[in-house]
A and B are shown apart, each in its own frame.
Chain A
Amino acid sequence: MLALLALVPIVSVLVGCSSVGSGGSSSQTSAEDQRASQAAGSSMGSKSAEDSDEGRPSKAKLGHPALGSAEAPVVLTEYADYQ
């Protein structure tokens, strides 16, 4: 169990060494990531989702959250749990 708890996802680890707890750079990176993803055609933050009326349940079907180009030759897929 301890071993599992120690296995924090890369996004945390990687950030963990720098991003977890360092909101400034993390937020900046996230914003950049979001733009990169949107530019890559990711479904994350799709226009249809963001255009939903305020307060109303979302309607969009979500794709996999992603960072980077859909044409990238290397894809790192992370399976993780938030706990």
Chain B
Amino acid sequence: MEPKLFEEYVKDGTLRIEWRDFPYQGQESVDAALAARAAQAQGKFWEYHDLLYNNQSSGNSGGYSEGNLTSLAEEAGLDRRRFEGDLQGARYEKTVQADFREGQGLGISGTPTFFINDQVLVGLQPLEVFEKAIEDAYREAEGG
């Protein structure tokens, strides 16, 4: 989470940021999403989310193996047995799939894709782009 956006817009109640899983790049994408939701069940989604990106893997190369995901869970201070049970049982598979289907229904074909109220931003953008989109959306929401 960009500290500046958080400081500028989330803290004062202007902005809410919501996460949706769109694991379209293979099994490890799905596994990472399931692991993050298992962390969420223990109240540590964002901590685990940050750890995933700090240890980002690509190409289904084993970076998000069960062992690595579990190591990150321990690093995040999660209950390991509970985490493993949730991950191995794919306990939140339906939750992740629901997000994915929702994204498909919106026509998403790549990540990251952002919706800022009605505005759509596809791909990485400079901070200034997000700031402008947020401020435009705020003015519109406030009737300005």
The chain A residues found within 8 Å of chain B, CB to CB, are 3-21, 23, 25-27, 29-34, 36, 40, 44-46, 49-50, 52, 54-58, 60-62, 64-83
| Among candidates B2, B64, B116, B137, residue contacting A15 with C-beta atoms closer than 8 Å | B2
Closest A residue to B15 by CB, please name it.
A74
**How many B residues touch A, CB cutoff 8 Å?**
80
Given A83-B58, A83-B60, answer yes or no on A50-B42 (Cβ-Cβ < 8 Å).
Answer: yes
The chain B residues found within 8 Å of chain A, CB to CB, are 1-6, 9-11, 13-26, 28-29, 32-33, 36-38, 40-47, 49-50, 52-54, 56-60, 64, 79, 81-82, 85-86, 89, 91-92, 95, 99, 103, 106, 108, 110-117, 123-125, 127, 130, 134, 137-138, 141-142
